[in-house]
Amino acid sequence: MNLITLTDPRSPVSEAYRTLRTNLSFYSLDNPIRSLVVTSPAADEGKNQLVANLAVTMAQSGRRTVLVDCDLRRPSLHSFFDLESEPGLTDRLLSEVDELPLQQTSIENLFLLASGPKPPNPADMLGTKKIDEIIATLVEQFDIVLFDTPPVIAVTDAAVLGVKVDGALLVINAGKTRRDQAERAKELLEKARVRIIGAALTNAPRDSGGAGYYG
């Protein structure tokens, strides 16, 4: 898994991630974003790579940052940082551990709450009161909490979790996402009353920096 913000920090793509970080940081000065769901309309549109690199830039700016892998069907964030997928979020949701099993990454200020064992009913688990308690604990301990969730159209997980946090960032792949998929994803999030912070464009033409943000 490639973390370009670490391997090539001076590249245009890394600069695009820092621009995204800045845009999110100044989205609302009166009510700063502390917790954010990152999702996409469909699978394989680059959301995992985006949220991992965004987390790195957040941590590099001095903000205590935690990544939470809520893609309980296809967890992957642990592989970006050479960490373990268990124990993790589901262990705490099932009360198999007393404390949140946070893992320190090799990057200062950046922690990971991995997915944990795959559950049979991910959306149901993300809708419980216990997840509310976990969110509150993380927001108290960290400056920014980033949740990676499954695609919006495929399952309801992103919408279920999105209403519990400050907002959602929709990842759009310039070379793959169809317009109707993007519109459908936006419609589903809005119907669930999720606050859409904006959209991040991945796989953009290289001369445009490789990424973009639209608030």
pLDDT value, residue 210: 44
Question: Is 6 a domain residue?
Answer: no
Question: Is 59 a domain residue?
Answer: yes
CA-CA distances (angstroms) from residue 106 to 5, 82, 110, 171?
13, 9, 8, 26
pLDDT of residue 24 exceeding 80, the answer is yes
Question: Is 51 a domain residue?
Answer: yes
2-16, 50-64, 173-187 — most confident range: 50-64
Q: Model confidence over 29-73: pLDDT tens digits?
A: 678 899 999 999 998 888 999 999 999 999 999 999 999 999 999
pLDDT of residue 113 exceeding 80, the answer is yes
pLDDT value, residue 32: 86
Write the CATH number for 186: 3.40.50.300
Q: 118 - beta bridge partners?
A: none
Contacts of 124 (CB under 8 A, 6+ apart): none
Question: Is 4 a domain residue?
Answer: no
In the three-class reduction of DSSP (H, G, I as helix; E, B as strand; rest coil), residue 26 is classed as: coil
Q: Helices 47-60 and 12-25, interaxial angle, to 10°?
A: 70
Question: Is 1 a domain residue?
Answer: no
Domain of residue 62 covers 16-214
Question: Is 5 a domain residue?
Answer: no
Q: How many domains does the chain have?
A: 1
Q: Which tokens in the block code for residue 209?
A: 């920096």
Among candidates 52, 50, 39, 47, which has minimal Cα distance to 82? Answer: 52
pLDDT band, very low/low/confident/very high, at 208 (cuts 50, 70, 90): very low
pLDDT band, very low/low/confident/very high, at 100 (cuts 50, 70, 90): very high
Q: Model confidence over 142-162: pLDDT tens digits?
A: 999 999 999 999 999 999 999
Higher pLDDT, 157 or 122: 157
Q: Is the peptide bond before 12 cis (omega within 30 degrees of 0)?
A: no
Question: Is 177 a domain residue?
Answer: yes
pLDDT band, very low/low/confident/very high, at 95 (cuts 50, 70, 90): confident
Question: Is 91 a domain residue?
Answer: yes
pLDDT of residue 3 exceeding 90, the answer is yes
C-alpha dihedral, 205 to 9 to 43 to 89, nearest 10°: -160
What is the average per-residue pLDDT within 73-79?
A: 94
Among candidates 199, 170, 215, which has minimal Cα distance to 28? Answer: 215
